[in-house]
Structure formats: C-alpha cells, structure tokens
Amino acid sequence: MEYTRIKKLGLLLGPLLFILINSLPFEFVSSTGDAVISVALWMITWWITEAVSISVTALLPLFLFPLLKVMPINEVGANYGSPIIFLFFGGFVLALALEKVNLHKRIALTIVKLTGTSPNGVILGFMIATGLLSMWISNTASTVVMLPIALSVIQLLINDEDGFTKKDQNFALAVMLGIAFSANAGGIATVIGTPPNSVLIGLLENEYQIEISFLKWMSIGFPFSIVMIGVVYLVLVRLMFPSKDLAFKTSQTVINDELEKLGKISKKEKHVLLIFGVTVLLWIFRSLINKVLPELKLSDTIISIMAALAIFAVPFNYKKGEFILEWKDTQQLSWGILILFGGGLALAKGMSSSGIVNLVSTTIAASNLGVFLTVSILIILMLFMTELMSNVALVAVLAPVVAGIATGLNIPIIHVLIPVTMASSCAFMLPMATPPNAIVFASGYIKVKDMMKVGFILNTIAVLLLIFMFSYVIPLVF
C-alpha cells in the first residue's frame, strides 16, 4: 500500500504536537491534564492519518503516561488487561471456530435459500444473512463470506440473453450495498458484534462501575439493528435501485450448488454449533442463573472465556485427540483490536483522572444549548466523523468526553453514550468509512456517487432513529 503524503505528514505532526503542548509556558487544564491532551493529540493525529497501524498507536499511553507522571505503569497496563478485552477475545475465538468449520457460510446460504428467488427476496436474504453473521463474527468476515456468493448471482445476469441491463445494474448495486450496510448495522446488535460496543462497555465498567449485560445490550441493540436493516432494504429496493419484474430462477441454483459443495453438516460443525448455542444461552440467561445459583457469580467475560477454552480443550474426536482450534489458528485472531481497546481505555482513564472530563462537564453545564440539542449534535458529530476515521478510535477518544458532557447536563451518562456509540457504526456514505463498505466498493459494481447518495439518506435516518432512541427508548430500558 502506498505511503501517502498525508500519512507522512501525520507521522511527523503527531509527535510535534505532543512536544509543542508539553513545551508551552502556560497550562490549559493542569500539568497532568495538558500531558494527557498532548498524548491524545498524538494518538488522534496518527489515528486520523493512519500514519502507523491504529493498534500500534494505541500503545502510546503505555510508555508516555508513566513518563509524564499521569499514571504509574501498572495502572496503565491494567487497562490493556481489562475484563472487557477478554470478553471480546472469547468472542473472537468463537468466530474463528465458526469460520474454520464453514458453519457461518452454511448458515448464510440457508437463510438466502429461504427468502425466495425474486430479486427483492434475494437481496433481503443476503441482507438478513449478513446482518445475522455480523452479530457474532466480524463485520469484515461476514462481508467476505457473502460477497463471492452475491457475485456469482450477479454473473448470471451479465451472462443472460439481454446482457447487463439497467434493472440488472440496480440489482447489483442493491445487493452489494445491502451486504455492506447490513454488516455495519448487524454488528450493533450484540456486545461482541462490533468493537465500539465493547469500548463503551469497558469504559462504563472501568470508570463508572456501570455494568451492561449481554442481554441488556441486545434488548436495545437487536431491535435497532432490525429496524436499520429494514430501512436500508426499503431505501435500496424501493427508493434508489428498484429492479421490479427482474426474474432469474437460476439464482436458486447458485445457492444450492454452494450448499452442495459444503456437503452434509459435519461432526465438527455440530460440535461448534453446540458450544456456540450454549454460550449464547448462558449470555442471555446469565442474570437468571446468578439469581438461582448466586455463588457462581457468572459474568459475560467468564462465559466468553469458558467458550474459548471449550473450543480449544474439548475434542470433537476424543480417540484421535482432534480439537476444533489449535493455538496456531490464533494467528488469524484480531490481536490488534484487543490492543486498541486497551489504548482507548487507558486514554479514557487518563482523561478522567487528570480532570479533563470534569472540565468538559462544568463547561457544558454553564452553556445554554439544552439537553436535546446537545445530544443531537453529539450523535451527528459521531456519525459523520466516523465516515473519515476508525470508529473504534473515535469512540475511544470521544466517549469519555461525552460522559463528561452528560454529567454537565445532569442526565445519566448511559442515556447519551449508547446512542452516540451506536452512531459510530452507522457510516454508510464513503467506501473508506468501514471495511464492509470498502470490500463491496472493490467489487467494481459501485460508484462513489451511488454510495454517497444512498449513504446520506441512511445517515440522516440513522440520526433521527438514534435521537428517538435517546428520547424515548433508552430511558425505558435503563
């Protein structure tokens, strides 16, 4: 990949801003607060420009905070070993197992097969399958699974008698964008579905001792995902790219052929499905289990680690000693994301302990913007900023500030942080906004202007839905 001018500039600008802030003869907040601001500016610069890997950037607090006397090394390091990181680690291991035995592909193909052969039915099938997968495996992986199957269906239209007509093109656009946008929206449904969710939950547990269970998150995240995927479907097939009267029964043949390649469900798949099913049930009924057996003190993280251990340690063939995953399989694990979580939590801790969050709180409290307008601005800001930079990095930087703003407005921080965090997963306008957007854009069937037109409509609807959630839904649940 080309190392662009922006990256070169960012590589130098980050440390220069750090040096500049620490060299000023006056203080913005306090000596500790200014030190945290200097580190934050360095990290934000590298995150925005992607001068180095965003995970490498997340390591900066680990050596800068102790040097600047913000926090001792053991306090900084504790953030990189937070329970929420191990919750996500267990989720990653489960996803790795699903992918290794091809169970995710079987589930996706079965869903697409059930939705019929009409153009809109096929599009809906791809969207439901992608959304469901992205609840449990990474948005990128769910898109990568669905893309080649969708391309095979599109190829049928290109090779038919009338060639690649306008209706065919509309179908191709709708199915490609439907896959990407469903992956983005589907991840919102669960704690492990997309990294920003876990960053938020880690922040709430570390800084505010507020726990959101797996089921509690799903009670708001899942309905939002369903509504958002439904909105995406209607906008694509009714408003922007209708492909009415288009018929291709051979699409069912493609799906059947793909399922036949997988063969009958294997012993490995059944083994993974059992562990996966038990894990999800434990997450959902954890509170009930803890009431019946209080001595267990189950947490979502404990359940996640139990699942990871089961994948590695419970053989599907005891006689031969065959296991689903071996440690070498973890080379494919997203270790960088786990480090990114740690860096985000460390930065949040620094912002809180140095008084920056309190300063934001008092400043907002003194303003006269009002609760509704302030929260609406925060949602819009997060949603449109995530079009240009990593949503995980953005939540890591902004979530502590948003918490301070909520305190200043004298409203529960959770009421503001949840819709603002969800907004970070609603980037539909630009190819570089999310990996799913980039993957389907690379297919060659989508132009930037098409994605921007649809994306702007969806971004606007997402903002309105999130404001509605803040006003009416979240106060009922929390």
Q: Above pLDDT 90, what percent of the chain?
A: 39
> Which residue, 115, 151, 130, is CA-closest to 252?
115
Residue 398 has a pLDDT of: 86
pLDDT bracket for residue 84 (50, 70, 90): confident
Q: Above pLDDT 70, what percent of the chain?
A: 96
Higher per-residue confidence, 174 vs 435: 174
Residue 456 has a pLDDT of: 93
Residue 428's φ and ψ, nearest 5 degrees, are -115, 0
Give me the helix-helix angle, 391-408 and 31-49, nearest 10°. 140
Can you state the percent helix, strand and coil of the chain, rounding each to 5?
75, 0, 25
What pTM was estimated for this model as a whole?
0.83
Residue 250 has a pLDDT of: 59
Question: Is a pLDDT exceeding 70 seen at residue 160?
Answer: no
d(C-alpha 431, C-alpha 22), whole Å: 37
d(C-alpha 215, C-alpha 204), whole Å: 16
Burial 64-103 (b: 16+ CB within 10 A, else e): bbbebebbeeeebbbbbebbbbbbbbbbbbbbbbbbbbbb
d(C-alpha 145, C-alpha 156), whole Å: 19
Indicate the domain borders of the chain.
84-332
d(C-alpha 65, C-alpha 387), whole Å: 30
Element (H or E) spanning 474, and its range? helix 474-477
> Which residue, 85, 77, 84, 33, is CA-closest to 59?
77
Question: Is a pLDDT exceeding 70 seen at residue 246?
Answer: no
d(C-alpha 148, C-alpha 168), whole Å: 17
d(C-alpha 7, C-alpha 354), whole Å: 30
Question: Is a pLDDT exceeding 70 seen at residue 207?
Answer: yes
Element (H or E) spanning 220, and its range? helix 214-234
Mean pLDDT check: name the lowest of 14-18, 248-252, 446-450: 248-252
Residue 143 has a pLDDT of: 87
| 277 burial via Cβ count (<10 Å: 0-12, 13-18, 19+) | exposed
Helices (H) and strands (E) in the chain, counts: 24, 0
> Which residue, 213, 225, 227, is CA-closest to 135?
225
Question: What's the pLDDT tens digit per position in 361-385?
Answer: 777 767 777 889 999 999 998 898 8
d(C-alpha 221, C-alpha 215), whole Å: 10
Question: What's the pLDDT tens digit per position in 297-327?
Answer: 888 889 999 999 999 999 988 888 899 999 9
Burial 442-461 (b: 16+ CB within 10 A, else e): ebebbeeebbbebbebbbeb
Question: What's the pLDDT tens digit per position in 88-133?
Answer: 898 889 888 988 988 888 888 888 788 766 788 888 988 999 999 8
**What is the DSSP track for 79-108?**
HTT-HHHHHHHHHHHHHHHHHHTTHHHHHH
Question: What's the pLDDT tens digit per position in 412-468?
Answer: 999 999 999 999 999 898 887 788 888 888 888 888 888 889 999 999 999 999 999
